[in-house]
Chains A and B, each alone.
Chain A
Amino acid sequence: MLMRSERSGDQPLIEARGLSVCVNGHDIINDIDLAIFPGQIVTLIGPNGAGKTTLVRALLGLVPYRQGKVMLARGLKIGYMPQRLRIDPIVPLTVQRFLTLNNRVARAEVRHALREVGASHVESAPVQVISGGEFQRVLLARALLRDPTVLVLDEPAQGVDVAGQGELYKLIAAIRDRRGCAVLMISQDLHLVMEAADSVICLNHHVCCTGLPEAVSRHPEYLKLFGALRPGGLAIYTHHHDHQHNLHGCVVPLSDNRGNTDADSR
């Protein structure tokens, strides 16, 4: 079974092998293998504290890793959207200025990017007064303005209203189709794995399972993993693990009183 872009023999844009990150003596992630190919959408899912953000930060070089290897393709341009970004009100900054801070782009391009993410109306507002959902869109626009080869999005839908979330995921898929960039995305919500994801990685300190939505319907093992695709852009990622984790994240055998992961019960 090959991933969509693997077939063409492309080199991965970002590749990790045996990656382990240890923070203050605690293993956050362990022995992770992962590859993101051009034009591919890879979604990382997993419960709180599973190490999703840590994995992404290790890939970006923001946290040192204890073991393993991270390989970035030559000339890789990353558009990064962090999980949290709070701009102190002491800095006078409009959305427009925020978008051009590290990108020397024309005003028309800024407008275009804002239109693309559906946030045109906040262009001249100070960044501190727009809503969380609007700010997420602005962050996405900022990542897009860098004309990235890979978009790295850490929970892009947080703070976005329920109706907006599906819309936002659709938008990300549309951006990939339009620009051909790869997307590595973290989503905490197991129910909101988008239809367009080429690869889903379920993380809980280690890679629990990976799924390729396109092959799901044919592969009996993944059928068990994914369940049926619901029309309307959302794929339901029904989740059954062959093991579970205790409070320390250690793998323990499955017990009867625990069928779902934490995130499933949301």
Chain B
Amino acid sequence: MPILDDFMLRALAAGTAVAVVAGPLGSFIVWRRMAYFGDTLAHSSLLGIALGFLFNLGLNWTVMAVCAAVALLLAILQRQRRLATDTLLGVLAHSALALGLVAVAFAEGLRVDLMGYLFGDILAIANRDLAWIYASGGLALLGILGLWRPLLCMTIDEELAKVEGVPVIWVNIAQMLLVAVIIAVAMKIVGILLVTALMIIPAATARRFAASPEQMALLASLIGCLAVVGGLSASLQWDTPAGPSIVAAAAVAFVVAYALPGRVYRPTTRPSRT
């Protein structure tokens, strides 16, 4: 049995914190079919990293700023109805990624660290990072809880929500910004390439067992935490890269959940007419 080192504890603390926030937020991403949106923000964060290096600014802030800018840009572009959202996302994601890669070429010394940003470096989390993760993660969690009801209404039907007085545009932007925050935070754990997985896979797994939106969000958080613990243990045991191991553990949970016999989601609850 490996001994829990300091860095391991920090990794666990950071990973579970992100998993807890990713649960409800990931559920919304799954419900609202925004998986590709998460990927787009993740791709854009490379541009944020490069800009941070170039102008010698805090990387957390530049990543969050670029993600927020891309999210707002998408919200604006969505208001015209000619191009579908997936097309817009494709344009934004790859433009931002290309710009990011170009910018990286200008930033001396970044090339070496690129792998760390692409795949995360949870084992290198310092106390300062941990404070940052808990502060912004806590804010994101408060945000999602505060927006829970209007967001859920919009998830069911945006127009119905609008008629019922939900400020649809603002709630939409707020949710996009929350995703931007959590991507900037989770990037440290699993890296740019896998950050969306940390939100989507636990939520998709939780759907199998959930009977209400709230259950699904809570279960997603729990499954995410289990994936973090499992991934980190595997990483320690077999010396595998930590970030990908966490996502792999989540994937295993997903497969097991849907392969398990028993609690299959079947519409059997329909009562007979009386």
Chain A positions near chain B (C-beta within 8 angstroms): 57, 60-62, 78, 80, 82, 85, 87-88, 90-94, 97-98, 101-102, 121-122, 124-126, 128-130, 146, 152
In the bound complex, residues from chain B placing their C-beta under 8 Å from that of A62 are 159, 162-163
B153 interface residue per 8 A CB criterion: yes
- Whether the pair A102, B166 counts as a contact (CB closer than 8 A) is yes
> How many residues of chain B are within 8 Å of chain A by beta carbon?
31
CA distance A92 to B160 in the complex (A): 19
Closest Cβ–Cβ distance, residue A125 to chain B (whole Å): 5
CA distance A122 to B155 in the complex (A): 22
- Whether the pair B213, A85 counts as a contact (CB closer than 8 A) is no
- Whether the pair B152, A92 counts as a contact (CB closer than 8 A) is no
In this complex, what residue of B is CB-closest to A139?
A: B160
Interface digits, B30-68 against A, CB 8 Å rule (1 contact, 0 not)?
110100000000000000000000000000000000000
A-B contact pairs, 6 of them (CB 8 A): A80-B164, A87-B156, A91-B155, A102-B166, A126-B269, A129-B269
- Whether the pair A82, B212 counts as a contact (CB closer than 8 A) is no
Closest Cβ–Cβ distance, residue B161 to chain A (whole Å): 7
- Whether the pair B163, A78 counts as a contact (CB closer than 8 A) is yes
CA distance A202 to B212 in the complex (A): 43
- Whether the pair A94, B212 counts as a contact (CB closer than 8 A) is yes
User: Can you list the 6 inter-chain pairs with the closest CB atoms, starting with the nearest?
Assistant: A129-B267, A80-B163, A92-B210, A102-B153, A125-B270, A91-B31
In the bound complex, residues from chain A placing their C-beta under 8 Å from that of B267 are 125-126, 128-129
In the bound complex, residues from chain B placing their C-beta under 8 Å from that of A85 are 156-157, 160
CA distance A101 to B150 in the complex (A): 9
- Whether the pair A130, B270 counts as a contact (CB closer than 8 A) is yes
Given A102-B149, A102-B161, A122-B270, A92 contacting B216 (CB threshold 8 A): yes
- Whether the pair B273, A101 counts as a contact (CB closer than 8 A) is no
CA distance A87 to B149 in the complex (A): 16
- Whether the pair A129, B31 counts as a contact (CB closer than 8 A) is no
In this complex, what residue of A is CB-closest to B81?
A: A24
B109 interface residue per 8 A CB criterion: no
Majority SS at the chain A contact face = loop
Chain B positions near chain A (C-beta within 8 angstroms): 30-31, 33, 149-150, 152-153, 155-157, 159-164, 166, 207, 210-213, 215-216, 267, 269-274
CA distance A61 to B153 in the complex (A): 18
In the bound complex, residues from chain A placing their C-beta under 8 Å from that of B274 are 121
CA distance A33 to B32 in the complex (A): 37
In the bound complex, residues from chain B placing their C-beta under 8 Å from that of A90 are 30-31, 207
In this complex, what residue of B is CB-closest to A120?
A: B274
- Whether the pair A92, B164 counts as a contact (CB closer than 8 A) is no
Within 8 Å by CB of B31, from A88, A128, A152, lies A88
- Whether the pair A129, B163 counts as a contact (CB closer than 8 A) is no
- Whether the pair B163, A124 counts as a contact (CB closer than 8 A) is no
Given A101-B149, A122-B271, A82 contacting B160 (CB threshold 8 A): yes
If A92-B212, A101-B156 are given as contacts, then 18 extra A-B residue pairs at C-beta distance below 8 Å, sorted by A number, are A80-B160, A82-B157, A82-B160, A85-B156, A87-B157, A91-B156, A91-B213, A92-B210, A92-B215, A94-B212, A94-B269, A97-B212, A102-B149, A102-B150, A102-B153, A102-B164, A102-B166, A126-B269
- Whether the pair B163, A93 counts as a contact (CB closer than 8 A) is no
Given A87-B156, A125-B270, A126-B267, A146 contacting B211 (CB threshold 8 A): no
CA distance A152 to B164 in the complex (A): 12
Closest Cβ–Cβ distance, residue B267 to chain A (whole Å): 3
Closest Cβ–Cβ distance, residue B158 to chain A (whole Å): 9
Given A88-B31, A90-B31, A92-B210, A129 contacting B160 (CB threshold 8 A): no
In this complex, what residue of A is CB-closest to B271?
A: A121
- Whether the pair B270, A61 counts as a contact (CB closer than 8 A) is no
In the bound complex, residues from chain A placing their C-beta under 8 Å from that of B272 are 121
- Whether the pair A82, B159 counts as a contact (CB closer than 8 A) is yes
Q: Which of B30, B152, B155, B156 has the most CB of A within 10 A?
A: B156
In the bound complex, residues from chain B placing their C-beta under 8 Å from that of A121 are 271-274
In the bound complex, residues from chain B placing their C-beta under 8 Å from that of A82 are 157, 159-160
In this complex, what residue of B is CB-closest to A100?
A: B149
- Whether the pair B149, A93 counts as a contact (CB closer than 8 A) is no
- Whether the pair B160, A125 counts as a contact (CB closer than 8 A) is no
In the bound complex, residues from chain B placing their C-beta under 8 Å from that of A125 are 267, 269-271
In the bound complex, residues from chain B placing their C-beta under 8 Å from that of A146 are 164
In this complex, what residue of A is CB-closest to B156?
A: A87
CA distance A80 to B272 in the complex (A): 28
Given A80-B160, A101-B156, A93 contacting B213 (CB threshold 8 A): yes
